[in-house]
Structure 1
Amino acid sequence: MTMQEAYQLGEERLIHAGIEEARLDAWYLLEHVTGVGRAMYYAMPDRVLSEDQEQKYLYYIEERAGRVPLQHLTGVQEFMGLPFQVNEHVLIPRQDTETVVEEAVKVIRREGMTVPCFRILDMCTGSGCILLSVLHYGRQEAVSLEGIGADISKEALKVARANAEALHIDAEFKHSDLFGQIEGTYEMIISNPPYIRTDVIETLQEEVKAHDPWIALDGKEDGLYFYRQIVQEAGRYLVNGGTLIFEIGCDQGEAVFGLMQEAGYRNIMVKKDLAGLDRVVIGVYDR
C-alpha cells in the first residue's frame, strides 16, 4: 500500500465513522506511523509503506474510528508550543488552558524580580502542562522560579515527571489529595481542577467521557466542589499578596468570583479565552 492509498483509505474510514476532523486525523496518524512530513509526502506519494507501518496505521485508524482520542494514539499533544506526553491517565491539554499560562506569566513578569525566589504551586497538575509551561516561559521574568505540581493520581504524576524530564524543566511533583501533603508558602497557586458537573459528564463527547480520567473531570454536583475546597485552604499556603489563578468552565466565572470575594481576595478578575468565553479567574490574597 502506498502512502497516498493509505491516506485515502484512512480518511474515508474516519469520515464514515463520523470523525469531525477526519482528513486531519488521518494525516496525523500517517505522519506518526511513517515519520514522513507533508513536504516529503507530496514529493513521494507513491512511497510504499512497510508491512509493519501498514498494520500500525490501519490499527490506529480503527482505534480512532472507535473514538479513541488522536492524542492517546500518538502519545503527544502540543501546548504553548511544547510537546507534552499524554495518555489515559491525564486530560489532554487544550488551547483554552493556554490563557491560564499567559496570565500566570504576566504576574511573574510584574512581580518575579521583587522576591528572592518566586514559588508556584500547581494544584491538580495532571500532565504538568500548566506548571511546566509557566516555568519554561516565566524563568526569564524572575530572579529564581520554583514549581511544585500536586495531584491525587499517582499515574498522572508519572506523566508529569516524564514531561519535565523530556522538556528539561526542573520541577517537583507531589502525591497529595489537594493540600494534604503540601508544605510551605507560595507566591502563586494555579489550578485547573475538575469542574464538570457529575450529571453533565455523560453528555460529553465519547472521546472525553469514555477516555479521559473521570477523576479529572468530575466537579461533583454543581461543578464547584474543588473551587470551594481550594479557596478555603489556599490562604494558608499563599504569601500575603500572593496570587490564586483558576481555570474555570465558561459558565462559572460569577460563581468562582464570588467564592474568592467571600474569602477575602482582592483585585479579582475574570479573563476570557481566545473564543471570548470566560476561562480564568485571578485574585490576590489579602491576609
Structure 2
Amino acid sequence: MTSLETLLKEGTKVLEQHKIQEARLDAWLLLEHVTGMNRAFYFAHSADGIEEEKADRYRELIRKRAGHVPLQHITHQAYFMGFEFYVNQNVLVPRQDTETLVEKALEVMKGKKTPGILDMCTGSGCILLSLLALTGDAYGVGADVSPLALQVADKNAVSLEVSDRAVFVESDLFSSAFFQQNTGKDMPQYDILISNPPYIRSAEIEELMEEVRDHDPRLALDGHEDGLYFYRKIVSEGKAFLKENGWMLFEIGYDQGEAVKALMRENGFFDVQIVKDLTGLDRVVLGRR
C-alpha cells in the first residue's frame, strides 16, 4: 500500500516533468480533493497507507493535470470573492483579477436600495452572484449566448442561495426576446450594467497558456480582430438598459483601458475612470450614464 507522502511526491514529480507551474501545490490540492484530508491530518498521518482505489483515482487526476487541463476543471471547484463556484469546460475559470471589477461595482452600488444588476456574458455567473450574495437586497439578470454556461450559472445561484434574486437569459448580447420585447418607457432598466466580455484579439489566442487556449471555451475568449468588438456593442446598445446615473463597468485587457474609455465617452458616458488591479495593470473601466 502506497503511503500518502510517497503518493504526493509521485504526483509532484509527474507535474514537474510536464512543466506545470506550482506543481507541488496542484499535486497537494488534487490529493486533498481525492481524500478530503486537510494539511494538519496529512502531516500527522503522512506515513499512513492510502486505499488503492483512491491512489488510482489520484494518479488519474494527476495525468489530466499533466495534460494541462486546468485544476479547476478537474475538481469542478473555483474560488472567487470568498465563495466556491462550480465550473466545467463550458465556462471561463473565475480569476482573481476579476475581483477588482466586483469590488468596484460594490463601491458604486453603495447606498442604493434594491439595486438592479445586468451582467452581460455572465458565464459561470461569478460576477453577478457574488454581487447578489454580498448585497442582501440586490437582484439581477445574467445573459450569455451559451446555454451550457447558463446551466453552470443556475447551479451556482442555487449553491449560493441567491436563485430567488437571479434570472439567467440565453441571448447573443441584446438580441433575445427578453431584451427586445419592451421598448420606450417599458424597457427594463438597471442601476448597474457589468461585463467581463471576450476581449482577446483573435490573432493572440494561439499565444495563450495551454490551460486557457485549449480548455477554456473559445466563445468566452475571442474579442474579434482588435479585441474591442463586445465593448462597442455593449456600450452602444446597453446604454438604453441603464437608469439615469446608472453605471456601466467592464473588465478589460491590460492595454485596452484608453480605447474603452474613449468608446464610453463617445457614447455620452461621464465620470469615466480606469482602475488598476493589485498588480498595477489597467483592469476595469467604468462610467456613468
- TM-score, normalised by the number of residues in structure 2: 0.94
> Are 1:119 and 2:116 an aligned pair?
yes
> Are 1:217 and 2:218 an aligned pair?
no
Instruction: Report the number of matched residues.
Output: 277
User: Segments of 4+ in structure 1 off by > 6 A?
Assistant: none
- Contact 1:185/1:236 (<8 A) preserved: yes
Q: What does residue 238 of structure 1 align with?
A: 242
Q: What does residue 174 of structure 2 align with?
A: 179
Q: What is the rounded CA distance, in whole Å, between the counterparts of 1:159 and 1:20 in structure 2?
A: 27
- TM-score, normalised by the number of residues in structure 1: 0.95
Q: What is the rounded CA distance, in whole Å, between the counterparts of 2:115 and 2:84 in structure 1?
A: 25
- Contact 1:60/1:73 (<8 A) preserved: yes
Equivalent in 199, 202, 205 of residue 195 of structure 1 = 199
Q: What does residue 159 of structure 1 align with?
A: 152
- Contact 1:108/1:138 (<8 A) preserved: no
Any gaps of 5 or more consecutive residues in structure 2? Answer: 180-187
Any gaps of 5 or more consecutive residues in structure 1? Answer: none
Deviation at 1:138, TM superposition (A): 2.3
Q: What is the rounded CA distance, in whole Å, between the counterparts of 1:227 and 1:109 in structure 2?
A: 25
Q: What does residue 60 of structure 1 align with?
A: 61
Query: Secondary structure at 1:93's aligned position in 2?
Result: coil
Q: What is the rounded CA distance, in whole Å, between the counterparts of 1:221 and 1:28 in structure 2?
A: 38
Identity %: 52
Query: Secondary structure at 2:118's aligned position in 1?
Result: strand
> Are 1:271 and 2:265 an aligned pair?
no
Q: What is the rounded CA distance, in whole Å, between the counterparts of 2:51 and 2:156 in structure 1?
A: 31
Q: What is the rounded CA distance, in whole Å, between the counterparts of 2:142 and 2:50 in structure 1?
A: 42
Deviation at 1:49, TM superposition (A): 1.5
Q: What is the rounded CA distance, in whole Å, between the counterparts of 2:138 and 2:246 in structure 1?
A: 14
Q: What is the rounded CA distance, in whole Å, between the counterparts of 2:241 and 2:44 in structure 1?
A: 57
Q: What is the rounded CA distance, in whole Å, between the counterparts of 1:201 and 1:106 in structure 2?
A: 33
Could you tell me which amino acid in structure 2 is paired with residue 11 of structure 1?
T
Per-residue displacement from partner, 1:65-94 (whole Å, max 9, x unpaired)?
Answer: 110111111110100010011110000000
Q: What is the rounded CA distance, in whole Å, between the counterparts of 1:151 and 1:266 in structure 2?
A: 27
Per-residue displacement from partner, 1:162-213 (whole Å, max 9, x unpaired)?
Answer: 0010111131111111012344111110000000000000000000000000
Q: What is the rounded CA distance, in whole Å, between the counterparts of 1:90 and 1:239 in structure 2?
A: 29
Q: What is the rounded CA distance, in whole Å, between the counterparts of 2:115 and 2:151 in structure 1?
A: 25
